Structure 1
Amino acid sequence: MLPQHHHSVPPRLRMAHIIAVGLALLVATVTLISMEYASLRHNMTNTMQVQMHIMASNLARSLLHGERVEANEVLASLADAPEIDAAVLYDMHKNQFAEYARRGSLPHAPKVRIKTQAQHQTDLHKSEIWQPIIYGDMQVGMLYMRSNMKGLYRQLLWYIGTTVTVMLVTLFAAALLLSRLQRAMLKAEERAGFLANYDTVTDLPNRHAFNGRFNSLLENARQRNTVLALLVFDLDDFKVINDTLGHDVGDKLLHLVAQRLISAAGGKDTVYRVGGDEFAMILDQPVDVENVDAVANRFIRTLAQPIILNDRNFYIGVSIGASLYPYDGEDAAHLLRDADAAMYYAKSRGKNNFQMFSAEMHHKSSTRLVLETEMRVALEERQFELYYQPQYSLPDQTLVGVEALIRWHHPQRGMLHPSSFIPVAEETGLIVRIGEWALEEACKQAMEWKSLGATLRMSVNLSGRQFRQESLVNTVTKIIEQTGMDSSLLELEITETVLMEDAETTITRLADLKSMGVHLAIDDFGTGYSSMAYLKRFPVSRLKIDRSFIRDIPRDADDVAITTATIQMAHSLKLEVVAEGVETKAQLQFLLEQGSDMVQGYLFSHPVDAQHMTDMVLTGKCKV
C-alpha cells in the first residue's frame, strides 16, 4: 500500500501565522515609536535648556543695568531657532523687561513664577521652561521660554514612516520566508515519508511498507476467511554484476528491473523491494491466488527479455518462491520464511523458475540456516583446516607442488569435505572470509616448508565470489606481505566458468595478479565455455584438466580425444597441463604418452594434513 501524501498547510492556518507575525511587528513598531517620541522630547528639552543657559548668561548684565534694547536684541536671536515661539525676560519684581514672539504679538503672557531653580513642563502642544537669571551669586531675574512641537512631530512622522515601511517590508519578507519554510518543511516531511516507505534506487515501496501492507492484508484475510499468496523474487546471480561492473551499474539495472516488474504486475498488484536484489508481491484476489503459477511465470517471461544498459544486453533470471495463507503459515514471519525456502529451492533446481512451498523445502531451508550459523562459529573457533594434495611432475614423478584443500572439523558431524558446505558459503558470502583465511594459512605453510629447504608451488583455489571482489588484488597483496610469501611460489586457481563471466574485467584482474609474480591456473578446464580468443589473452600459466575427463581414460574414446586435444592445445599456447583425479596406472601411462606436465590424484596420495604433507615434503619424491 502506498503511503499517504501530506496535504498543504490550510489557508486559515497560514493566515493565522501571518497575522501572528504582523501583530508581533505591530507591537514592536509601537514600542519603537514610543521610545523615539520619548527620545525626541528629551533631546528637545535638553536643547532648550542649553539655549536658556546661553541666553541667561547673556541677559544677566542687560537686566542688571536696565538695558532693554540690548536684552531685546539678545532675545531676537531666537528667530534662528524655529522651534522657539516665545521668550520673556522678567526682573525680580515680575515685571516684563524684554520679550520675543514669533509671527506677531506675544501670546498671552504666562503667569509669572519666580523660581530659584530651572523647571520645565511639556504637553502634546508645547514645552515651557523657566530659568533663573544669575549674576555672580545673586538672582536678578527669570527667563521664560516656550517651544512648539512641530519639529518634534515632523521628525516623529519621518521616523514613523520609515519604521512602518521597514516593518511592512519585514512583514512581507517574513510572510514570504514563512511560506518558503512551510513549503520546505512539507517537502522534508514528504521526503521523510517517502524514505520511510520507498526505496530510492527503484522507487518501489520498501520492506517497511511491505510489512505494514502484509500484516493489514493478513488481518483482513483472517476476518473474511480468505486465502493470500506471498511471492518472493530473487534475481539470479545479480551479485556478479555488482562485483564485476560496480554498484552504480547494478543500481541502474535494478531500477530497470523494477520497471519490468511493475509492468508485469499490470498496475493491479504492488511490487515491493525487500532486500538487495529481492522483491515481493502479495496476491489477495481469489483469481490470482488460484493461478499463482501463471502469475509467477508471467514475471519470469517478462524478465527473460534482454535489458539494454550502456549499450549492453543484460539477461536477468529470477527465481520465485511462494507460500499460501493459511496453509503454509498464519503469520507474516512464517509465510516469509516459507516463501524464501521455496525461492531457494527454485534456485537449486537450476534457477529462473518458480516453486511453491512444501514441508521438504522448510527442512532444507532450516538446514541451510543452521549450516550458515555453524560456519560463522567455525571461523571464530578455527574449526577449519587445510589439507594438501601433492602434485608431481612427469615423467620423473618429482614432487613439485601441492593444492590446498579445505576441511571442516565439525563438532558433531566430524570431518566435512568442501562439497557439503562450500555451496552455502558461496551463497551467503561467507566464502570470502573463508577464502582469505585459507589463502593466508596456505602462504604460511609454504613459507614453513621453504624454511625446511623444500621449494614447492602452493596452489590455492579462488571461488567465484572471491574473484569478483573489487578488493581481491589488495587482499592478495596484503596477505603476501603479512606472511612473507614468495609470490613466485603462489598459484591461484580460478574455474573456467568464473573467468568467462566477464572476460574483459577478468583479463585486467588477472594481469594485476600476474604483475605481482603470482602464477595463475584455470581449474576444471573443459567444463566451461572458454573462447580460444580469450584463452590466448588470459595471462595464465597452467590448465588443469577436470577429473571428469580423466576418470574413464583410456576406455572412453571421447574422454581420450578431449584430453589429448586439451594437452596439445595448451602446449601450443605454451601452457603447462595438470591432470586431476589420476587413480590408475593406466591413466598415468596415457598421460605420460600424451605429454601431460603434471598429475595429481589418489594414485599418488589422498589430501593429507600439514604434518603428513611435511613428511612427504622432506622425502621430496614419490614413485608409483
Structure 2
Amino acid sequence: MAGKKRAPLSPILRQNKRIFDLMKNTTSDYAFMMDPAADVFLASPTFVRDYALPSETLTHVADVLHPLICAQDRRAFDAIFSSLMDVTEGRERQLDFRITNAKGDLTWLRLKGKIGLSEDGHPNLFVGTISQLARRNAADSVTGLLNRYQFTEDLGEALRTARETGKGGGLLVMGIDNFRTVNEAFNHEIGDVILREISECILQNVPRRLSLYRLDGDEFGLIYPEADEEMLREFFIRVQREFAHPQVYDGRQYLVTMSAGMVFYPQAARDPLVLHKYAQAALDTAKAGGKNRLNAFSKEVYNRWLRSLTIQEQILEDVKAGCRNFELYFQPQVAGDDQHIVGAETLLRWKNEKGHMVAPMEFIRILEETKTIVPVGRWIFEQALRVCKEWRKKIPNFCMSVNMSYEQIKDLSFLKFVEDCLHRHDMPPDAVVLELTESKIVSDLKFVNAQFDAFRLHGIKIAMDDFGTGYSSLSSLKNLNCDIIKIDRAFVMRILDNHFDQKLVEYTVELCHSIGKTTCIEGVESQDEYDCLVKICKTDTIQGYLFGRPEPQDVFEQKFLGM
C-alpha cells in the first residue's frame, strides 16, 4: 500500500518544517501539515504512535488511514482530502470521524484545517490539528455517534463563534416517534440494533462538515452554523423521506417517523443548555401536535411546554397519592327508540393544584406517555363499577361504559383485575362495556383481537369508540372482534342538510346490525338531529348533549336518576 515507506518531504513542506515543529510541540492536539498538490502528509509523532501509522511522512494519506476509519465515515473523510485543490466553497475544512487506535479502540477525532494559497492563488498547503474527542467518552456506546456531553461542548463553541463572527446558525433536535413501541415489539437489545440503523439513515443526510449527536434515548442533535429556517426544513424533509416506507429487521416490518424542534442562535439564547432546552420544547410540542413534523421554537411554544411539564409533575404526584384530584363524570346513554336511559359513559376529569379543571386532551396524553394510565385506569374501573352497582338499584340493567387505554390492553393482568372487581362488587359481566379508540385498535389488530376475545369469553362486552374518524374504519369493522360500534359525531354534524351523510349513517347502522353488532351514535346535540336519526335508522343507543352533558356523580343522580 502507498505510504508504507517514509515519503520524502515536498519543497513546500521542507520550507515550512520549522513552523510545523513549533506547532507540534506547543499543542496537545495532533498537528499536521500537507502538500495537497503532491499528496504528501506530515503527521505529528504522537499521532503516528497512537494510531500505529507507518511513518510521520505519508503519501496518499486517505488511502493509508482508510482501513482504520469507521466504514460509515470513509466517504466524508475521502471527500475532505479530494476537495483540497478546490477553494470555491472556502478554505476551511472540518470533519468529525471515527478511527481505530493502536489499542484497537474506536475513537472520535476532529480534523480542523485551513488551506494556504501560493502567490498565484493555487492551494499549496493544508495545515491544522486533529483533536481527540474522547473526553468523558465522547462516543455514544450504542450508535457510535458523538454523545450529549460533546454536543453541549460543541454547541457552546458554536455560540462563541457566533459572538465573534456575528454569524449565527440553527439547532435541530430530532426524536423518533413511538420508539418505545418498537422496543416492546422486538426487545431492547434488538431495539439498540434498530436505533443504530436509524442513526445511520439520518447520518447519510448530514452535510459533510457537520456532526450528528445522540442525545437522550431516541433523540439526535444537529448543530448547523449559518443555517436559516429553509435549510433546516430541507434537511428534515430529506430525513423524513428515509422513513417514508416501513423498515425491515429480521423479516419483520416496523414503521418509523421522526419529529423535530428547531431554534436559532444566538437570537434565541446564548447559553448552550438553554438553547437545547428551547429546541427540546419545540420537539415535544411537535410530538404532542401529531408527530412526524418539524416545529419551530417560540416563546408561546416554550410557555406551553413549561405548562405541560408542570401538569406532568402534579399528575405524577396525584397518582402516587391514590388518584388524588381525579374525578369521574358520567354522560347518559339512552335507548334509540324512546330515549329512556340505559347507561352512561365514564369520563375522567382532573383538577390542578389551584383547583382548576384541566382539559382531558392535555392530561390524558401525559397519563399515556408516562404509563400512569395503567394504575389510573384501574382506579377508574373500580370507581365506575362501585357507582354502577348503586345505580342498578334504580335501573336494574344499567350499563356502565369505561374507556380503556391501549396500555391497559397490553397489561396481561388487566383481565384478572376486571374479573376480581366484578366478583368483589358482586356484579355481572354485562354491567360494564370496555371502550377503546379505533386509532389505537388498528395499530396491532391481531394482538388486540386476542385480548378482546379473552374479555368477551368472560361475558364482558367491547366497544369500538370514535368509529369513522380513522382512515381504516371499514377494515376495522370487518376485522375487529367487538360487540358495539360507537359512531362518531363526525357522521352526525351535517346530517340535517347532507343526503350523503344521512345514507352513510343509515347504511353503517344496517351493516353493523347485519353482522351482529349493536350501535351507539355519539354527539347528538339537537332535537332535529335526533328526529332525523329516528327516521333513517334504528340505532340501539344514542349519546350527546341533547340528552345530557357529562356530570359528576351527585348531579347525574339528581338529573337523570331522581336519587
TM-score bracket, normalised by the shorter chain, equals 0.5 to 0.7
**Separation of aligned partners in 2, 1:219 and 1:483:** 67
Name the CA shift for 1:246/1:598 in 2 (closer, same or farther; >3 Å).
farther
**Are residue 389 (structure 1) and residue 389 (structure 2) matched?**
no
Shift of the 393–610 alpha-carbon distance from structure 1 to 2, 3 Å rule, reads same
1:238 maps to amino acid: F
Opposite residue 441 of structure 1, the aligned amino acid is Q
CA drift at 1:595: 1.0
TM-score normalised by structure 2 residue count: 0.68
Partner SS state of residue 403, structure 1:
strand
Counterpart in 1 of 2:259?
Answer: 319
Over residues 243-263 of structure 1, what are the superposed CA-to-partner deviations in whole Å (9 max), with x where a residue is unaligned? 556555544432321120122
TM-aligned CA deviation for residue 460 of structure 1:
1.0
Q: How does 1:299-314 map to 2 (within 5 A)?
A: 299-314=239-254
> Alpha-carbon deviations, 1:438-476, whole Å to 9, x = none?
223212322343467734221111234544556654665
Measure, in 2, the Cα distance between the counterparts of 1:346 and 1:467. 27
Contact 2:344/2:399 (CA < 8 Å) preserved in 1? yes
Match of 1:356 among 288, 296, 317: 296
Aligned match of 2:282: 342
1:371/1:219 CA distance change after superposition, 3 Å: same
1:344-400 Cα deviation digits (max 9, x unpaired): 343455532323322222222222222323333444372121011121223243322
Alignment match of 2:450 (pick from 503, 508, 525):
508
Aligned-pair CA distance for 1:574: 0.5
Equivalents in 2 of 1:471, 1:281: separation in Å? 42
Query: AA paired with 2:548?
Result: S
- The residue aligned with 2:467 is 525
Structure 2 residue aligned with 1:152: none
Q: Is the 8 A contact 1:499 1:506 kept in 2?
A: yes
1:513 CA displacement: 2.8
1:271-290, Cα deviation, whole Å (9 max, x unpaired):
22222322212224x36898
Question: Which residue of the partner structure matches residue 278 of structure 1?
Answer: 219
Which residue of the partner structure matches residue 383 of structure 2?
441
- Equivalent of residue 565 in structure 1, options 473, 487, 507: 507
Q: 1:460 is matched with which residue? A: 402
CA distance in 1, matches of 2:186, 2:346: 30
Q: CA 1:476–1:240 in 2, change beyond 3 Å: closer, same or farther? A: farther
Which residue number in structure 2 is paired with residue 490 of structure 1?
A: 432
Q: 1:575 aligns with which of 517, 536, 540?
A: 517
Corresponding residue to 1:556 among 498, 521, 525:
498
Q: Distance in 2 between matches of 1:359 and 1:618?
A: 48
- Cα–Cα, structure 1 residues 582 and 296, in superposed 2: closer, same or farther, change >3 Å? closer
8 Å CA contact 1:244–1:470 kept in 2: the answer is no
Aligned letter for 2:284? Answer: Y
Please name the residue that 2:202 is paired with: 261
* Cα separation, 2, equivalents of 1:363 and 1:247: 34
Mean CA deviation greater in 315-324 or 538-547: 315-324
**Alpha-carbon distance, 1:564 to partner:** 0.6
1:207 and 2:148 aligned: yes
Instruction: Determine if contact 1:204/1:271 at 8 Å carries over to the other structure.
Output: yes
Structure-2 change in CA distance of 1:288 and 1:559 (3 Å):
closer
Partners of 2:311 and 2:352 within 8 A in 1: no
Q: Measure the CA separation in 2 of the matches of 1:275 and 1:471.
A: 31
* Partners of 2:353 and 2:505 in 1: CA distance: 41
| Aligned position for 1:547 | 489
For 1:265, what is the secondary structure of its paired residue?
A: coil
CA pair 472-391 structure 1, distance change in 2 beyond 3 A: same
**SS at structure 2 position matched to 1:502:** helix
8 Å CA contact 1:338, 1:357 repeated in 2: yes
CA contact (8 A) 2:524 2:543 kept: yes
Q: Could you tell which deviates more after superposition, 531-540 or 541-550?
A: 531-540
How many Å separate the matches in 1 of 2:561 and 2:308? 41
Deviations along 1:516-575, whole A, 9 cap, x unmatched? 432100111111133655533422110011122223333322221111111011001110
Letter in 1 for 2:538: G
Q: How many residues align?
A: 438
Q: Does 1:609 align with 2:558?
A: no
Task: Give the aligned residue type for 1:258.
Answer: S
Q: Does 1:595 align with 2:535?
A: no
In 2: Cα distance, 1:187 partner to 1:479 partner: 60
Q: Partners in 1 of 2:189 and 2:417 — Cα distance?
A: 22
Deviations 1:54-74 (A, max 9, x none): xxxxxxxxxxxxxxxxxxxxx
Q: Which blocks of at least 5 consecutive residues in structure 2 are unaligned? A: 1-45, 53-102, 108-133
- Structure 1 position 507, deviation (Å): 1.5
Quote the Cα distance in structure 1 between the aligned partners of 2:208 and 2:416: 47
Decide whether aligned partners of structure 1 residues 278 and 516 sit closer, same or farther in structure 2, where only a CA change above 3 A counts.
farther
Q: Who wins on radius of gyration, i.e. which is larger?
A: 1
* Distance in structure 2 (CA, Å) of the matches to 1:483 and 1:215: 61
Tell me if the contact between 2:486 and 2:519 (Cα under 8 Å) persists in the aligned partners. yes
Q: CA deviation at 1:497?
A: 1.5
Q: Distance in 2 between matches of 1:375 and 1:613?
A: 26
Distance 1:209 1:480 in 2: 55
- Contact residue 447 and residue 486 of structure 1 kept, 8 A: no
**TM-aligned CA deviation for residue 301 of structure 1:** 2.6
Offset of residue 321 of structure 1: 1.2
Contact 1:283–1:289 (8 Å) recurs in 2 = no
> Secondary structure, in 3 states, of the residue corresponding to 2:551?
coil
Report if the CA contact (8 A) 1:496-1:529 is conserved: no
Q: Contact 2:344 / 2:400 at 8 angstroms: preserved in 1?
A: yes
**Structure 1, unaligned stretches of length 5 or more?**
11-185
Of all paired residues, the percent bearing the same amino acid is: 30
What is the Cα deviation at residue 492 of structure 1? Answer: 1.1
**Residue 307 of structure 2 is aligned to residue 367 of structure 1:** yes
Deviations 1:224-270 (A, max 9, x none): 65534321001233344445565555444323211201222255433
Q: Does 1:232 align with 2:173?
A: yes
Structure showing the higher helix proportion among its residues: 1
User: Matched residues in 2 for 1:219 and 1:567: separation?
Assistant: 66
Cα distance between partner residues in 2 of 1:475 and 1:364: 37
Root mean square deviation of aligned Cα: 3.7
Give me the TM-score of the superposition, normalised by structure 1. Answer: 0.62
Matched, 1:407 2:349: yes
- Structure-2 separation of matches of 1:406 and 1:208: 41
CA distance in 1, matches of 2:167, 2:248: 41
Structure 1 residues 194, 337: closer, same or farther in 2, change over 3 A? closer
Structure 1 residues 351 and 453: CA distance shift in structure 2, 3 A? closer
Cα displacement (A) at 1:305? 4.4
**2:127 aligned partner:** none
CA contact (8 A) 2:437 2:464 kept: yes
Distance 1:510 1:212, change over 3 A: farther
Report deviation, 1:583.
2.5
